[in-house]
Amino acid sequence: MERPSLRTWVWGLLGWLTAAVLFFPIFWMTITAFKTEQGAYQPNLFFIPTLDSFREVFARSRYAGFALNSICISFGSTLLCFLLAIPAAYRMAFFPTRKTQSTLLWMLSTKMMPSVGVLLPVYLLFRSAGLLDSIWGLIAIYTLINLPVCVWMTYTYFCEIPAAILEAARVDGAGFWSEIRHVLAPMALPGLSSTALLTIILSWNEAFWSLNLTSAHAAPLTVFIASYSSPEGLFWAKLSAASLLAVAPILVMGWLTQKQLVSGLTFGAVK
């Protein structure tokens, strides 16, 4: 329906310009991963690429182990978050009461304690519970950390769905689960997709608890990266390579599910 016009070109140019500017640091980090250490801090755009850094990184650490841990912990905690958040958000969005708002705000306030202040009590708790250096321990912590965000975002997206449609489905005789599956989920898909993505990323990149509560067995990729950030000596190329490897599983996952992701994120207006 739209004619490709000058306006479209202008938007395109603007869009790509902003994307380029925002992406530039990551682009620079990516090409640094293929440079030698000596060339890493020189501003050359063109150079002879080498896989030395990647080879070194793979030789030094058990990358697969870290990646597997990250996947388990991030996806596990996100799943748990959703299991807890969706019912709560459903209740609060469609059957709100006077206490709903204060409950939401209270949930968010649980995140106000800075981790540095509560590290030692939690560490001692985990030690007593035998949860140190365990995947389930980290899943538990991440679920608790991300639950408020998950509930808030899901609640927001549920709010944008007109209640009348759900009521209509109910009047038509739809049971609770078919209401969820056939009416609510498709309409909330963009919101749920972006919430899932953000929650996974938040867990993936969380560096404070993962560094302090794990040692040999449950360490995720953030610990892997920590062995490359500011060691004594030059490390830019290796750090860039390690960072790329740390982001790689998510990118692969995103690429494999891109159809659902893109359709989820760019789903057209609801009607």
Partner 1 sequence: MDPVSGTMRSSTLPSADATASMPGVEKPGRWRVLLQTPSVVVLLLWMTVPLALTIYFSFLRYNLLNPEVRGFAGLQNYRFLWEDPAFFPAIRNTLVLIGSVLVITVGLGTLLAVLYDRRFFGRNAATLLVIAPFFVMPTVSALVWKNMIMHPVYGLLALAFGKLGLAPIDWFGSCPMLALIIILSWEWLPFAFLILFTSLKSLDAEQKEAAQIDGANSVQFFFHITIPHLRRAMSVVVMIETIFLLSIFAEIYTTTSGGPGTATTNLAYLVYSLGLQQFDVGIASAGGILAVVLANIAAFFLVRILAGSLKGGH
Partner 2 sequence: MRPTITLLACSFLASLAGAAEPAGITIAAVNNPAMIELKKLSTKFEAANPNLKLNWVVVEENVLRQRVTTDISTGSGQFDLVFLGQYEAPIFAKSGWLREIKDTPASYDIGDVFQSLRDGLSYEGKLYALPFYGESSMLMYRKDLFAAKGLTMPDQPTYDDIKRFAAALTDKSAGIYGITLRGKPGWGENMAYLSTLVNTFGGCWFDLQWKPQIDSPEWKNAIHCYVDLMRNYGPPGATANGFNENLTLFASGKAAMWIDSTYGAGPLYDQKESQVADKVAFANAPVAVTSAGSHWLWSWSFAIPKAAKSPDAAEKFALWATSKEYVRMVAADTGWASVPPGSRKSTYDNPEYEQAAPFARVTLKAMQTADPLKPSLKPVPYQGIQFVGIPAFQSFATVVGQNIAGALAGQMTVEQALQAGQAAATRAMQQAGYLK
Q: 138 contacts which partner out of partner 1, partner 2, none, CB within 5 to 8 A by kind?
A: none
Q: What number of chain residues touch partner 2 (CB under 8 A)?
A: 46
Q: Which stretch of DSSP H or E encloses residue 137?
A: helix 135-159
Supply 38's token pair.
């000596």
Q: How far is the CB of 246 from partner 1 (least distance, A)?
A: 7
User: What character string, x for contact with partner 1 (CB under 8 A) and - otherwise, covers 151-170?
Assistant: xxx-xxx-xx-xxx--x--x
Q: How far is the CB of 114 from partner 2 (least distance, A)?
A: 15
The reply to whether 260 sits near partner 2 by the rule CB under 8 A is yes
The reply to whether 241 sits near partner 1 by the rule CB under 8 A is no
Long-range contacts, stretch 34-37, CB < 8 angstroms, 24+ apart? 34/237, 35/237, 36/237, 37/234, 37/235, 37/236, 37/237, 37/238
Cα–Cα nearest to 162, from 216, 105, 94, 221: 94
Task: Report the alpha-carbon distance of residue 51 to residue 36 in Å, rounded.
Answer: 9
Q: How far is the CB of 54 from partner 1 (least distance, A)?
A: 16
Residue 54 · residue 238 · CB < 8 Å: no
Residues 243 to 262: which contact partner 1 by CB under 8 A?
Answer: 243, 246-247, 250-251, 262
Could you say which of 37, 207, 227, 253 contacts partner 1 (CB under 8 A)? 207
Q: How far is the CB of 236 from partner 2 (least distance, A)?
A: 8
